[in-house]
Structure formats: structure tokens, C-alpha cells
Structure 1
Amino acid sequence: MPKGDLRTFDEGDFDGSLEVQSFRGIPLDNVKRSVGYAFELEKKPAKLYIIASAERDLKSMPKLRMWVNDFSLSKEFKPNIELIEDKRALSTIIYDISPFGKEGKNELSFVKSSMDPLSLLSLVVVAFYPDQDIKTKYSLDAGMMILRENENLELESIGRGILVMGGRNGSARILTERNNYFSSYYNYESDEVEIHDDGKVNVISESEYIAIIFYGTFSTKSPEIRLNPQLSTKDGNLLVYVKNESEVPLDKVIMNLTVNGITKFFKVYSSVSPNQELSEKVMQLTNGVTNVNLRVVGIKSGMRVVIDRPLG
């Protein structure tokens, strides 16, 4: 029987979209006392959570300080959820860091000030991007759930699910009515599995044990992101053209032109209106130029569409 607890820490309806990012863990000892993580946010979030999981010896309580964008979150290690397993304490801390999130690059660091060893198992960041054009129903669970080999945990998906597991080593099968997924992680990697089904989700351990740290499920109604990219030549020059055929404005449109896999043109356009046309004269063609590809990315509140358009 699975041991531990996954608790719902936030659920409801939101005018916007949610983005989940996960990062691998790392052991901290007397030589390596700190670790830093950088993550990007598409815009300033309405809400922002971090979920950090750690493993320590049951007899010790390491002093661990957490920082986000140069602001000290905590001077001590105070987990919200803790599980005792084989003389070890497996812990999860949930922080609401909404006031400190900003558009662009954000930095999170952990600094251990005591002699006691501690291993970070994983880090999860959940961002809520406000957008009146998008409606999302969601439920977020976090904690520490241990599954021994062949043990099963049943979850529920309302359309899309993201499952995060972490630890030293582990592997699992994730089964839905329509699809099978496989997850494995080694040496404190954090594995994120994205599930595109609704209904029952069964997680079955295929190793000595696995640690489930986070599960979020979402149902999103949003307008379609539609882009029409074109490549053409005129007077020996290569021209790129992109039209936003979406019914809504896009936060960003990114153009990346490559020749034989090497980037020759890159540009980011912000606040692109419906039916807005973007065009550039990017380079002069020479004899022998082959394998030309334009990649266009449309972004709206963390949701994105990627289109590749080759020349010819």
C-alpha cells in the first residue's frame, strides 16, 4: 500500500493559464553547501508557488536558508509535509512566493549553513499567468508519496495532468484508458510526465520505490493560436513574413531562421495584435545555400505553438 500523503494546496477556476516547471535535485554536504536555480516567467504571475522536496537523516535537522531574487524566504528548514522511511525523513515544503515573481529571469537558491547533510530531491515552480481570454479549472497536489515495487496509486485527470517524481533512482508506468506513459530518473534527476487524457490515472512503481512529489491537473479553454509564416526570395534576398491569424493578441512571436542548422536571424516581437503582419529582409542568398528553415513560436500566457517552415 502506498505510504505518505499528497495534499491539495490550491484548486479552483482561474482567468488565465498555468505553467509548471521542474528541476533536478542535488545532494548538499560540507563541500557543496549551496545550489541555485534559474527559471523564466513569460509575464509577471498572479500567483507563484515553489515546491521543494528533500531527504535527510532522521536524527538531524539541517539549517537551510532559501532565497528568491535576493529575498530571504526562510532561515530554517520547516517542511509542510514529512514522511519517515527507513530512518530517513522525506520532506516537502510549499511556498507561495507570488509577491516576488517577475517577468523574465528569476533565481532561487538554497544555502545549507549546518554540518548535517541534506539532499534536495526536486524543485517545482507553478506560475499563474492572468489572461481574460483563457479559462482554466485546476487542482494542485503536493507532498511525499512512496510507492514500493508493483504498488499502484490512482489519480484523477480533468483533461491534462503533470506528474513530478524525484529521488535517487526510480521508474514507473503511468496508465490511462487511452495511453501508457513511462517515467525513469537517476542520480537525483526530477522526471516530469505530462498526461493528455481525462479520467483515471494509475501510477505503478517498477523499481524498489518511487517518490511522487507533485501532481497538477488542468482543464483549459482558450482561443487557438494561429500563425501563418512564409519564406520567399526577391532580388537575391531572403524575406520572412508572419501573420498573426489568431482572434486574440499574442504576448510574443519569436522568429528563428537557420541555415544548415546555424541561426542566421533571431528576433522577438512583443504584444502582437490579431491580423498583425511581421516582415523582415533577413539575408542575401548566395549560391549553394541549402537547408533553410524558419521556426516561428507564438506565445500567450505560457501557452505556445511552434511552426517550422522550410524554404522551397
Structure 2
Amino acid sequence: MGNTLKDYSFSFYAEDKPVKGYLLVITESPPDYVKWRLWLNNFSLTKEFKPNLSYVTDERKELHFHIFDVTHLLAKGKNELTVNYNSARPLTIRLANATMIVRSDGFFTRYSLRAGLLQLKPGEAMELKSMGRSYLVVRSNSRGKVKISNGKSQEDMLELGHECEEIDAEGDFVRILNSNEGQRTVTQILLHYSYASQTPRLDFDLIPELSGNNLQIRIVNKGDVDIERLTLIVMLNGVTVGFRTLNDLSRGGETECVIQIPAKKGLIYIRSVGMRAGLRKIVEKELKRETA
């Protein structure tokens, strides 16, 4: 951002109203403080503010971490973040990250959220403890490679550059190795989220029955929790002939719908997606229609 680009915006979505929400914006700029403005859902968080964390990098620039509790500003559905900057001095948005915590019956999550700057010189490695799953954001001061491993099945070699890269890893720890021996390439770890979740079983069944041109579909919830939303798509010989959206199917409950289909022979394909708090279950069924 600078002379030509004055605004930077991005949208993110919440499936429900979050009970807690955090916003992290990482900026990079020349030394000395650079002023800019931040808006969330048309609400100005601040006009002039100092970062929570600041670091001087080897590139003669400053990396700033701005952390906000935005629980009261987040809404169910679409949320929009806008950075406004009006200066000739360059400002780079390295990362904009929204973390939202939603309450849902049957779900339990332990988590650790850490942000800051951890730099690895060529040949250096760091092991970060994990609760079971890790989400990391890493970058490099120049083109280079980094090896990610968990001591068991996962071992990946990634190409890094100035742009931030996201990493998902499983295991009790995650090990990051700067694999650029003999170079001045520095690996930067900016974010490490670790979490462990206990999720209920989301499951349902489709029982279709064809009578003339009417396709009756019975949906039975066989899972541990209510299904918040369920979509049905019906296709005949590869062409979509029906679509339904159903809401709030209780645990152990059932419902049904009727979809009219054309009077044609062929293969009837039914695809349904059930959803609950980020979980998804897909069920597919087929019927062969011999006569029209």
C-alpha cells in the first residue's frame, strides 16, 4: 500500500454468532511509526494506534503485530475488514487473521493461540508443542526451503518467499527446519495455533421411494447431535431435476420431502449434505428407473 493502493479489504464468514473473536493484523513498513486506519463491519477500531508487538528485521524494516478483541463487532454470516492508508511511505499487510469461537452443543475444543516473531537461521530448527493439531503461518526473507515434520508420518518440504504460507500439521509436536545451508535465508514463524477437538458423530440416512413421477425421500438422523442444515440434490441422467434445503433435523428424528421428476427412464442420483457447526456429512443414493 502506498501511492497507488489506499484500501485493502477482505471478507470472512461466521456460521453462527461468535462468543469470542480475535483479529490479528501483521504489517511491515520502514522504520518509525506509520499511521493507518482499520475498519471492521464499517466500525472504525481506531484512528492512530501503537502495535502490540514490534520487531526490527534484517531487511531494515519493522514488523508490527496488531491484536484486537473484536467479539462485540462480529456477526453471523459475512464480516468485512478494511485497512485504509493514505501516505507515500510503503505499508505491507503481511497477514490478516480472524479467529472465531462458536458455542455448539456436543462440541468441545481446547486451544492455544500464539503470535510473535521466531526466526530460524540456515540449519536451525525449532520444535513447537501441539495439543494434537497445529496451524502455522511462516514466511522467509528471500526464496528458500523449510522442512516440516511431526516425528511420525508427516514430512514436507516447502518453498517459501516473502508471502505468508499456511501449514496444517498433526501430532504432539511440529518441527520446523530451515533447510537453506550456506545461505542468508531466514525462516520466520509468525503464528502458531494448537488445538484438540472432541466432535460428535454427524450421521443420517436417505430412504428414497419412487411412485410414478414423485420421488419421496425420507431422511433419518442417526447421529449424536441435531443437524442444523441439510441440502438435497436430485439428478436424472446427469441433469439436475430437484433441489431442497431442510433445517433443524433433531437427533433421532426424521423428516421427508417429495420431488417431482420428469417421466423418463434412466438413473436417478440423490446427493445430500448435512451440516452442523463446521461438520459435514455426505450421503449418496441411486435408483434405476426402468420404465417412464
The two structures have a TM-score, normalised by structure 1, of 0.78
CA distance in 2, matches of 1:253, 1:127: 23
Q: Does 1:56 align with 2:29?
A: yes
| Counterpart residue number, 1:227 | 204
| Counterpart residue number, 2:72 | 99
Q: Is the 8 A contact 1:232 1:311 kept in 2?
A: no
| Counterpart residue number, 1:141 | 114
Correspondence for 1:118 among 78, 91, 94: 91
Aligned to 2:223, the other structure's residue is in SS state coil
CA distance in 1, matches of 2:188, 2:194: 18
Moved more, 67-76 or 256-265: 256-265
Q: Is the 8 A contact 2:205 2:219 kept in 1?
A: yes
Q: Is the 8 A contact 2:138 2:191 kept in 1?
A: yes
Aligned to 1:159, the other structure's residue is in SS state strand
Q: Is the 8 A contact 1:231 1:294 kept in 2?
A: no
Partner deviation per Cα, 1:49-95 (whole Å, 9 max, x = no partner): 1111121122x432211111111112135221222112011222111
Q: Does 1:311 align with 2:286?
A: yes
Distance 1:187 1:88, change over 3 A: closer
| Counterpart residue number, 1:14 | none
Where is the strand percentage greater, Structure 1 or Structure 2?
A: 1
Unaligned runs of 5+ in 1: 1-27
Aligned to 2:29, the other structure's residue is in SS state strand
Distance 1:295 1:132, change over 3 A: closer
CA RMSD, Structure 1 to Structure 2 (Å): 2.9
State how many pairs are aligned.
280
* Structure (1 or 2) with the larger CA radius of gyration: 2
Distance 1:239 1:172, change over 3 A: farther
Moved more, 276-285 or 288-297: 288-297
CA distance in 1, matches of 2:200, 2:270: 27
**Greater relative contact order: 1 or 2 (C-alpha under 8 angstroms, separation 6 or more)?**
1
Correspondence for 2:55 among 74, 83, 95: 83
Letter in 2 for 1:296: V
- Deviation of residue 47 (structure 1)? 0.4
CA distance in 1, matches of 2:121, 2:235: 47
| Counterpart residue number, 1:40 | 13
Moved more, 143-152 or 214-223: 143-152
Q: Give the percent of matched residue pairs that are identical in Structure 1 and Structure 2.
A: 23
Correspondences of 1:121-270 after superposition (within 5 Å) = 121-166=94-139, 171-182=145-156, 183-184=158-159, 188=163, 190-197=164-171, 199-206=172-179, 208-230=185-207, 233-256=210-233, 265-270=242-247
Moved more, 162-171 or 200-209: 162-171
| Counterpart residue number, 2:42 | 70
The two structures have a TM-score, normalised by structure 2, of 0.82
| Counterpart residue number, 2:290 | none
CA distance in 2, matches of 1:35, 1:151: 35
- Deviation of residue 237 (structure 1)? 4.3
Distance 1:64 1:175, change over 3 A: same
Distance 1:255 1:162, change over 3 A: farther
Aligned to 1:99, the other structure's residue is in SS state helix
Q: Is the 8 A contact 1:69 1:107 kept in 2?
A: yes
